[in-house]
Amino acid sequence: QVQLVESGGGLVQAGDSLRLSCAASGRAFNSYGMGWFRQAPGKEREFVATMNWIGSSTYYADSVKGRFTISRDNARKTVYLQMNNLKPEDTAVYYCAATMNWRLTRSRDSDEYDYWGQGTQVTVSS
């Protein structure tokens, strides 16, 4: 079992940067593939970025490619989402998630993830 706690959200202006963190507790964090998802008001939760257990494979949504970077520090049991050049349309609650059965072809699907954090709010003003 893994517990996930996100932090690092806030209110920023367009063009600014933020780094989200997701701290995990529990065993075998380095066995889990990790993902970031987001949900804007009135919209469905959407995929943002994902990384396999060792960090050798990543995948991004087209809307964030080139601006966001997912990374992990298995020694610290933490996964990060570096967000640069933020846009108002990035405003959402951001969630991290963990899966024991990470597969690149399925890693964009929220149903593939077993554990979720409570979310952190990111608001980007224009």
pLDDT tens-digit profile of 30-69? Answer: 889 999 999 999 999 999 999 999 989 999 999 999 999 9
Q: Could you tell me if 50 and 58 are in contact, meaning their C-beta atoms sit under 8 angstroms apart?
A: yes
Token reading at 123: 């608001």
Say whether pLDDT at 105 is over 90: no
Query: CA-CA distance, 99 to 83, in Å (whole number)?
Result: 22
**pLDDT value for 28:** 85
| Residues contacting 112, CB < 8 A, separation 6+ | 99, 101, 102, 103, 106
Which backbone phi and psi does 96 adopt, to 5 degrees? -105, 155
